[in-house]
Amino acid sequence: MAWIVLVLSGVLEAVWATALGRSEGFSKISPSVVFVIALVLSMAGLAFAMRTLPTGTAYAVWVGIGASLTVGFAMATGAENTSLVKILLVAAIVACVVGLKVLH
């Protein structure tokens, strides 16, 4: 159960990071509200998962999921440049996250 919550929390990290960028310094209401809700839920999920998972592993997985989804979404929407090297590096992050799960 902790792993499922951790993965969902990582997804929510990508949501709040993207919403933060779109809030334009909290001057836009909708993305700002999405940011706050996703941030609270993401942190709560991380805290829940860390009750049973090692802190370092949980944090690394949470950040890895959030970072890879955030950059992947930005590349898919054209907000960020796409290159083969960037895609390979994001794939390496995903591989490391999977490796941490397998080793646990």
Name the burial class of residue 4, with classes exposed (0-12), middle (13-18) and buried (19+) by CB atoms within 10 angstroms of its CB. exposed
pLDDT at position 83, please? 95
**Domain definitions of the chain by residue range:** 2-103
- Average model confidence (pLDDT) across the chain: 95
Residue 17 has a pLDDT of 97
Tell me the average pLDDT across 16-42: 97
Q: Is the pLDDT of residue 104 over 80?
A: no
pLDDT the model gives residue 51: 97
Is the pLDDT score of 102 beyond 90? no
pLDDT, mean of residues 73-82: 95
CB 6 within 8 A of CB 61: yes
